[in-house]
Structure 1
Amino acid sequence: MTGSRKPFAALAVAEAFSISGTRLSQIAVPWLVLTMTGSAVWTGVVGFAEMLPYVVAKALGGPIVDRIGAKAVAVTSDSCSVLIVGAIPLLQWAGMLQLVWLVPISALMGAVRGPSDGAKSALVPVVAEQGAVPLEQVTGVMGAIERLGGTVGAAAAGAVVAMIGAPQALLVNAVTFAVAAAFISRGVPSATSQRPQEVSGQAGAEASYRQQLVEGWHFLRGDAVLVGITTMVSVTNLLDQAWTAVLLPVWAHDTGQGAGAVGLVLAVMAGPSILGALTAAAVGERLPRLPIYTLCFVVAGIPRFSIFAFDTPMWAMAAVLAVVGFVSGFCNPILGAVIFERIPRHLVGRVSALNTSLCWSLIPFGGLLGGGLAALVGLRAATMTVGVAYFWVALMPLVRKSFREFDKRPATASLSDGRTVHDLAV
């Protein structure tokens, strides 16, 4: 590996450990709450206590990333996560672990993890430039890591929790954050992590936090392509969450397939999605973005919902899910490259953080949507309703004028002026 690509490798390894740790906590914390209280309500409350601060902190942390640098924010946040997550097993060993502690600890976990994820995202165009690697390749590899963490990482996390218990598993989680911080600290040069002195308009170093946040918001709101992407992805994330959180588990329950079927369905999709992300990394730079992007969202939508709304043979379901998984793997690499190219370097942190937070803003309501529809019209009608809605949203690039600029790529030389991205789609 050439020296110039070492920052890319360091960020990739850090992301792998960070995502694996996140998957571990997403399994260990709810399981811990269930074993302590037996209450699904409290399990949901603790989950909400982490997710809300995560979204808010990621949005508000953007100016801090731009002001002090993405590397500093990533290393500091992951180092803090070591202490916060590690507090749970320490309380357990001291015999002091109670539900009253889990809610604020979970809130702190989300508040710290949000800026950390935003900072790692802001490092993507930096390491791409450092290694002279096309953005599609970098975002494709990062997308594959994210999806791999969602399958192998989740499976490994479940095994760890089962073997050593939830509190002890969170100690492993703390170690993963420490490893992520170490790789970014040692592998990503400080000089290339960010350039806060680069400014536009008013002097960036002297601008107040509020001015920087407002500047990021104005840039995002003024870019028609970013507005279109944010609108489209936030709605598809809502619909995806309705299916994943409610409609899919209800299908498994009502058909007698059992809880194992939920994991199997997600695994059948996730495996090919890794291959799709790696394929996008290899050939994405040469593909027409808008047609591929639109086709992927269409294929990833209504075929998937249709097979669960009607009595479909298992072999046919597996085939459709594999295709859906493969094409969905193309979405984030394409989205990432487009967004990275549109944001100037000095605005990377604040704009990408706002963009991602808005794309995630409807996810907490997905379960409410899925549950409400299932209760009102039944599982089959609810699944098809969500599927048809997904189909119409997937056609948005064909009818919104803002997407006409989607396929325009900047000249190679302009990549050094700072254009950037984030992992947007679920």
Structure 2
Amino acid sequence: MTETTRAPLFTILFAALAAGAGNGISLVAYPWLALQHNGSALDASIVAMAGTLPLLAATLLAGTAVDYLGRRRVAMISDSLSALSVAAVPVIAWAFGAQAINVAVLAALAALGAFFDPAGITARQTMLPEAAQRAGWTLDRANGGYEAVFNLAYIVGPGVGGLLISTLGGIDTMWVTAASFVLSLLAVAVLRLEGAGTPDRAEMPRVWAGIVEGLKFVWRTPVLRALAFVDLTATGLYMPMESVLFPKYFTDRNEPAELGWVLVALSVGGLLGALGYAALSRLANRRTVMLTAVLVLGVSMTVIAFLPPLPIILVLCAIVGLVYGPIAPIYNYVMQTRAPAHLRGRVVGVMGSLAYAAGPIGLVVAGPLADAAGLHATFLALSLPMLVLGAVAIFLPALRHLDRGPVE
């Protein structure tokens, strides 16, 4: 009988915290560096899009890599390459001067980082069921804790990022980002957990056939297919607000710390929502929680579109995070309980890649629209379809499967 211990679970949570903090700093630093050139939202949109465009293919490949190479090994490789990609910013500036850090360079490095990150995220997520079992935790509790830690990382990351930019500057801030990925790498290096090592590849198909197998599994599972649709649409509408519109608004006002606080408010709400998910799951079913989140997100974004004073924006962002915090644990639970162990990485990868597919489209539209029509009109162009999405989701019958038990 396997000894009960929380060490593997807490190690995974620490690695997620460190890597997430690095990404949180980048979330502020990359757009800020791009906007420093001429203040154009289009430049910030290009960099943000470069940081999301590779995610579709990268997440598909990440899921297959996890199933083929092993969860622990892939997490370590991902952290190593992510650290190198962000450290390249100050290295290039040191070698060729700060003027070399232009929009093209930032876009290329953001794309590299985006290509490496999904593998680490997927690897850590797929280790949660075994880690939860070792800890004696329910899967809902482990997923809630994981997402709470991930949101905590985005409290630490953007907040620290805004402060570091105001003191060290955007370029040197990237050293801190690299150090965060190194901490995650070191944590995973000492992890010992069943199912985290190199899998038996004797009966696995070739890489492309493996990806197709994961895609077919998601398509043939109604609840996964419906979740993919909702997440893809919500991501495409929400991502430009965080990656382009808020950075544009606060850059125009020369308020980097305020941008950090807005992102912190989103993460604080998400942290509380994820922490409260285990208790909430006993009071409300998963479908109700998800529908409430999408509808409240649409309403909150609509109010934000009128650009009220900062305290009101902070409260609304906290509400957005609070209602949306439980959604990721629900997604994780469904993926982990519907997919067999040998397909788990590919199913997580497929679902993640589909969610990222709409991101570049939203960013391509949001940047030029913000420059041409203004932030108010662009916020409305994103928030009103979010309200429609919430109404449509009510009538999706597959979402009723969210409250069914695990499939053996």
Shorter-chain TM-score above 0.5: yes
Residue equivalent to 1:12:
13
2:235 to 234, 237, 240: 237
Do the aligned partners of residues 287 and 409 (structure 1) sit closer, same or farther apart at CA in structure 2, a change above 3 Å counting?
A: farther
Does the CA-based 8 Å contact 1:144-1:277 persist in structure 2? yes
Deviations 1:35-87, CA, capped at 9 Å, x for gaps: 5x557455544443343223321212221110111111001221233334333
Cα deviation for residue 347 of structure 1 reads 0.6
Asked if the contact 1:62–1:353 (Cα under 8 Å) also holds between the matched residues in 2, the reply is yes
Q: Which residue of 1 aligns with 2:147?
A: 143
1:357–1:90 Cα change, 3 Å? same
Equivalent position of 1:227 in the other structure:
225
The Cα of 1:15 is off from its aligned counterpart by: 0.6
Are 1:137 and 1:284, in contact at CA under 8 Å, matched by a contact in 2?
A: no
Q: In the alignment, what sits opposite 2:338?
A: 342
C-alpha distance in structure 2 between counterparts of 1:340 and 1:381, whole Å: 40
Give the fraction of aligned pairs with identical amino acids, expressed as a percent: 26
Unaligned runs of 5+ in 1: 415-426
- Any idea what the Cα deviations from partners look like across 1:370-391, whole Å, max 9, x if unmatched? 4676689876666455434212
Greater radius of gyration (CA): 1
Q: Hey, what does 2:172 align to over in structure 1?
A: 168
User: 1:197 and 2:194 equivalent?
Assistant: no
Residue among 396, 402, 419 paired with 2:398: 402
Which has the higher mean CA deviation after the structures are superposed, 347-356 or 381-390? 381-390
Name the CA distance, whole Å, in 1 between partners of 2:44 and 2:381. 28
Contact kept in structure 1, 2:273 and 2:326, CA below 8 Å: yes
- Measured in 2, the distance between the counterparts of 1:147 and 1:324 equals 13
1:125–1:46 distance in 2 versus 1, CA, 3 Å: same
The alignment's TM-score, normalised by the length of structure 2, stands at: 0.84
| Between 48-57 and 325-334, the greater mean CA deviation after superposition | 48-57
Match of 1:64 in 2: 65
Cα distance between partner residues in 2 of 1:101 and 1:320: 34
Of 185, 190, 193, 1:186 maps to: 190
Q: What aligned pairs does 1:63-212 form with structure 2 within 5 A after superposition? A: 63-95=64-96, 98-99=100-101, 102-189=106-193, 191-193=194-196, 196-197=199-200, 204-205=203-204, 207-212=205-210
Q: Which amino acid aligns with 2:200?
A: Q
Partner of 1:277: 274
Question: Which residue identity lines up with residue 204 of structure 1 in the other structure?
Answer: E
CA deviation profile, 1:383-402 (whole Å, cap 9, x unmatched): 45543421231234431222
Give yes or no for contact 2:272–2:322 (8 Å, CA) kept in 1: yes
Distance in structure 1 (CA, Å) of the matches to 2:130 and 2:163: 36
Q: CA offset at residue 225 of structure 1?
A: 0.5
TM-score of the superposed pair, with normalisation by structure 1: 0.81
Q: Mean alpha-carbon deviation: is it higher for 214-223 or for 91-100?
A: 91-100
Distance of aligned partners of 1:27 and 1:375 in 2 relative to their CA distance in 1, 3 Å threshold? closer
Give distance in 1, aligned partners of 2:44 and 2:251. 20
SS of alignment partner, residue 187 of structure 1: coil
Q: Go from structure 1 to structure 2 and tell me whether the alpha carbon gap of 1:132 and 1:81 turns closer, same or farther (over 3 Å shift).
A: same
The separation in 2 between residues aligned to 1:118 and 1:354, in whole angstroms, is 10
> Match for 2:216: what amino acid?
H
Superposition deviation, residue 269 in structure 1: 4.0
- Runs of at least 5 residues in structure 2 that lack an aligned partner in the other structure: none
Alignment partner of 1:406: what SS?
helix
In 1, the alpha carbon distance for the partners of 2:39 and 2:74 equals 36
Distance 1:166 1:133 in 2: 41
Paired with 2:208 and 2:81, the residues of 1 have a C-alpha distance of 24
122-131 vs 88-97, which moves further? 88-97
CA distance in 1, matches of 2:64, 2:32: 35
Is the CA contact 2:83–2:182 (under 8 Å) kept in the aligned structure 1? yes
Structure 2 CA distance for aligned equivalents of residues 367 and 349 of structure 1: 28
Query: Quick one: which of 289, 292, 305 aligns to 1:292?
Result: 289
Q: Deviations over 1:110-160 (max 9, x none)?
A: 222232222222222232233232122122112222222222221112222
- Once residues 101 and 314 of structure 1 are traced to their aligned partners in structure 2, the CA distance between those partners, rounded to angstroms, is 32
